[in-house]
Each structure stands twice: as structure tokens, then as C-alpha cells.
Amino acid sequence: MIDDATLTTDGLDATGTGRVLLLACGALAREIIALKQTNGWDHMDLKCLPAIFHLFPDKIVPGIREAVEKYRADYETIFVVYADCGTGGLLEAACDDLGVEMIAGPHCYSFFEGNDAFAERDEFTAFFLTDFLVRQFDAFVWKPMGLDRHPELRDMYFGNYTKLVYQAQTDDPDLTAKAMACAEKLQLPFERRYTGYGDLETPLANMATS
């Protein structure tokens, strides 16, 4: 269930017409806040479902449904800042049923890279990290997979991967160093790509000008 304790917001007042609510994955909060501040999108409020849903995609659809129903009356527009994210099309169906739009793409790795560019690469043997996942590597990758207790599981989980791709949203040498350390722990060749915000920015900008 979603309640105020499991949602984060930037504290903007949701009154008046033209207000937009962004319902997002907590893993995208930093990037969305940066875009809002840079572009002056003061008519947009942000509320985030827990980032840990990244590991439990079955929780995403119920969380979005509850949040849309809870906040629908307060906003002119609600936009879901999730891609499919492992829901197997269920999130798109739920958004259609609720009458709200969502960001396009299979997952955040795709829309950060740009959905068209990501599809063209066809990289099924690459393991991807974003800025968020580099910061939270132990909490979201290493420990949940049990690699902190059983490092021998590395070959089972990652034996078929050919590289680790760090999709950098920012030019941060410290994050790059941490990403390289992640690749070393997973025993994978390292590649860094500066993606910026990719296709995350486009739909938000379109709403700002509509």
C-alpha cells in the first residue's frame, strides 16, 4: 500500500489549475528534481514510490493505482514516470484504465540512452547501471543477490554478461570511479556512456509547453 510515509515530494502547493503531478520511481527523484529546477517547471509536483520497487515490479501497478486515485482530484494532469519496468505490460494497461499517460520504453536504461538508440544497440549481454544504481549498488545489487555472503554466486548471475555499462546522467568523477569498482567486483569489462537525461526530459518538457 502507498501512503504519505512512502511518498516523497518537493513540497510544492498543489492548488489551482494547470498543476501536474509526476508519479515517479524513487530512483529517478534526483534527476526529475534537477530538471524541474533547471527549467523552472514550478507547476509540476513530484511524488515518488519507493525505489526498492525496482526489485519488486509486482508492487508498481498497485502503488500507481493507489496514488492516482489518492491525488487525482488535486491535479489537472497526472503523468507516470515509469517505463514498463518489468510489469509485462500491466502498468501500461493500468495507466490506460486510469486515463493517465506514462513514459515510453521498457525500462529506465532504455529511456536514459534514448529508446531508439537503445533498441538499435541490441545489448542483451550488457549489465547496466545508472547514477542511482552506482550510488546504491550494495543495497540494490550486491546484497539482494546474496553476493555479500556468497560471492561464488557471481558466475551464476553474471557469467553470461560481457560488460558493465555505466549510463552516466552527470559528469561526476567520483561516481565514475565507483562504477568502475562495481565492474571490478562483478568481474566485467567497464564502459561509461554519458547519456544525460535522454528521453526522460522530452515528455516532461512537452507537458511544460502544452
pLDDT at site 126? 97
Asked whether the beta carbons of 112 and 124 are under 8 A apart, the reply is no
Is 80 exceeded by the pLDDT of residue 145?
yes
- In the chain, which ranges are E strands? 8-9, 20-25, 44-49, 77-81, 101-102, 126-129, 163-168, 190-194
Q: Is the overall model pTM greater than 0.95, yes or no?
A: no
What would the pLDDT profile of 3-35 be if each residue is shown by its tens digit?
A: 443 444 444 444 446 899 999 999 999 999 999
Phi first, then psi: give them for residue 97, nearest 5 degrees.
Answer: -65, -35
What is the DSSP code (8-state) at residue 210?
-
CA separation for the pair 143, 101 (Å, rounded): 34
Question: 11-23: buried (b, 16+ CB within 10 Å) or exposed (e) per residue?
Answer: eeebeeeebbbbb
Which of these CATH numbers, 1.10.1740, 3.90.320, 3.40.462, 3.40.50, describes 4-107+199-209?
3.40.50
What would the pLDDT profile of 177-204 be if each residue is shown by its tens digit?
A: 999 999 999 999 999 999 999 999 999 9
pLDDT at site 4? 40
Higher pLDDT, 45 or 7: 45
Average pLDDT, the chain: 91
Query: For the chain, what are the domain ranges?
Result: 4-107+199-209, 115-194
Sheet holding 190-194, edge to edge: 126-129, 163-168, 190-194
CA separation for the pair 4, 88 (Å, rounded): 27
Asked whether the beta carbons of 130 and 107 are under 8 A apart, the reply is no
* C-alpha cell of residue 77: 494532469
